[in-house]
Structure 1
Amino acid sequence: MPYVAGAGTLPWHQGVTAADLAATVRPLAGAVRIENFSDDPDLWGGPVTDERYALIARV
Protein backbone atom coordinates (compact mmCIF):
# COMPACT_ATOMS: atom_id res chain seq x y z
CA MET A 1 0.00 0.00 0.00
CA PRO A 2 1.48 3.39 -0.92
CA TYR A 3 2.06 5.91 1.82
CA VAL A 4 -0.13 8.44 -0.04
CA ALA A 5 -2.74 8.12 -2.76
CA GLY A 6 -1.11 8.40 -6.18
CA ALA A 7 2.40 7.65 -4.93
CA GLY A 8 2.83 4.99 -7.60
CA THR A 9 2.83 7.67 -10.30
CA LEU A 10 5.60 9.68 -8.64
CA PRO A 11 9.21 9.34 -9.80
CA TRP A 12 11.21 7.08 -7.50
CA HIS A 13 8.11 6.03 -5.55
CA GLN A 14 10.03 2.96 -4.40
CA GLY A 15 13.12 4.92 -3.37
CA VAL A 16 16.12 6.31 -5.18
CA THR A 17 19.75 5.31 -4.96
CA ALA A 18 22.31 7.85 -3.81
CA ALA A 19 24.03 7.64 -7.19
CA ASP A 20 20.81 8.31 -9.15
CA LEU A 21 19.81 11.22 -6.94
CA ALA A 22 23.30 12.74 -7.09
CA ALA A 23 23.30 12.45 -10.89
CA THR A 24 19.97 14.27 -11.03
CA VAL A 25 20.96 17.04 -8.63
CA ARG A 26 24.54 17.56 -9.85
CA PRO A 27 23.63 19.78 -12.86
CA LEU A 28 21.72 22.10 -10.51
CA ALA A 29 24.32 22.38 -7.76
CA GLY A 30 27.86 23.64 -7.37
CA ALA A 31 28.85 20.68 -5.22
CA VAL A 32 27.14 17.43 -4.24
CA ARG A 33 28.19 15.14 -1.41
CA ILE A 34 26.68 11.88 -0.19
CA GLU A 35 26.89 10.89 3.46
CA ASN A 36 26.34 7.15 3.88
CA PHE A 37 24.44 6.12 7.02
CA SER A 38 23.81 2.47 6.15
CA ASP A 39 26.96 1.27 7.90
CA ASP A 40 25.99 2.61 11.36
CA PRO A 41 23.64 0.09 13.01
CA ASP A 42 23.32 2.31 16.09
CA LEU A 43 21.28 4.77 14.03
CA TRP A 44 18.72 2.12 13.06
CA GLY A 45 18.62 -0.21 16.06
CA GLY A 46 20.54 -2.89 14.16
CA PRO A 47 22.08 -3.66 10.79
CA VAL A 48 20.17 -2.60 7.67
CA THR A 49 20.34 -3.99 4.16
CA ASP A 50 19.00 -1.00 2.27
CA GLU A 51 20.81 2.19 1.31
CA ARG A 52 20.43 5.05 3.82
CA TYR A 53 22.12 8.34 3.09
CA ALA A 54 21.90 12.09 3.08
CA LEU A 55 22.61 14.11 -0.01
CA ILE A 56 24.14 17.51 0.66
CA ALA A 57 24.11 19.97 -2.24
CA ARG A 58 25.56 23.45 -2.42
CA VAL A 59 23.72 25.72 -4.82
Structure 2
Amino acid sequence: MAKDNIAEILSDLTPAVKRELLDGLVKSLLSELIETEKKELLQKIVSGGRENRQMIDMVEH
Protein backbone atom coordinates (compact mmCIF):
# COMPACT_ATOMS: atom_id res chain seq x y z
CA MET A 1 0.00 0.00 0.00
CA ALA A 2 2.81 2.43 0.85
CA LYS A 3 4.44 1.56 -2.46
CA ASP A 4 1.43 2.87 -4.36
CA ASN A 5 1.46 6.07 -2.32
CA ILE A 6 5.14 6.67 -3.05
CA ALA A 7 4.61 6.02 -6.76
CA GLU A 8 1.70 8.44 -6.79
CA ILE A 9 3.70 11.11 -4.99
CA LEU A 10 6.64 10.70 -7.36
CA SER A 11 4.43 10.78 -10.43
CA ASP A 12 3.11 14.18 -9.36
CA LEU A 13 6.59 15.72 -9.09
CA THR A 14 8.15 17.79 -11.84
CA PRO A 15 11.32 16.47 -13.51
CA ALA A 16 13.34 19.21 -11.78
CA VAL A 17 12.06 18.19 -8.35
CA LYS A 18 12.68 14.52 -9.15
CA ARG A 19 16.31 15.32 -10.06
CA GLU A 20 16.73 17.30 -6.84
CA LEU A 21 15.23 14.45 -4.80
CA LEU A 22 17.44 11.88 -6.51
CA ASP A 23 20.52 14.05 -5.98
CA GLY A 24 19.72 14.37 -2.28
CA LEU A 25 19.11 10.65 -1.89
CA VAL A 26 22.32 9.69 -3.66
CA LYS A 27 24.37 12.13 -1.59
CA SER A 28 22.77 10.86 1.61
CA LEU A 29 23.36 7.22 0.73
CA LEU A 30 26.94 7.82 -0.38
CA SER A 31 27.82 9.86 2.71
CA GLU A 32 28.17 6.72 4.83
CA LEU A 33 30.49 4.91 2.42
CA ILE A 34 34.25 5.16 2.33
CA GLU A 35 35.80 6.63 -0.82
CA THR A 36 36.68 3.28 -2.41
CA GLU A 37 33.12 2.01 -1.87
CA LYS A 38 31.72 5.17 -3.44
CA LYS A 39 33.95 4.80 -6.48
CA GLU A 40 33.11 1.11 -6.88
CA LEU A 41 29.38 1.76 -6.60
CA LEU A 42 29.37 4.67 -9.02
CA GLN A 43 31.55 2.80 -11.50
CA LYS A 44 29.20 -0.18 -11.32
CA ILE A 45 26.20 2.06 -11.97
CA VAL A 46 27.72 3.70 -15.04
CA SER A 47 29.29 0.50 -16.39
CA GLY A 48 26.11 -0.41 -18.29
CA GLY A 49 25.31 -3.80 -16.78
CA ARG A 50 21.79 -5.14 -17.22
CA GLU A 51 20.68 -4.26 -13.67
CA ASN A 52 22.30 -0.85 -13.95
CA ARG A 53 20.61 -0.26 -17.29
CA GLN A 54 17.29 -0.97 -15.60
CA MET A 55 18.15 1.56 -12.90
CA ILE A 56 19.05 4.17 -15.52
CA ASP A 57 15.81 3.44 -17.39
CA MET A 58 13.83 3.90 -14.18
CA VAL A 59 15.57 7.19 -13.50
CA GLU A 60 14.88 8.36 -17.05
CA HIS A 61 11.21 7.45 -16.65
**Structure 1 and Structure 2 fold alike (TM over 0.5):** no
- Give the alignment's TM-score, normalised by structure 2: 0.30
Counting helix residues as a fraction of each chain, which structure ranks higher? 2
Higher relative contact order at CA 8 Å, sep ≥6: structure 1 or structure 2?
A: 1
Counting strand residues as a fraction of each chain, which structure ranks higher? 1
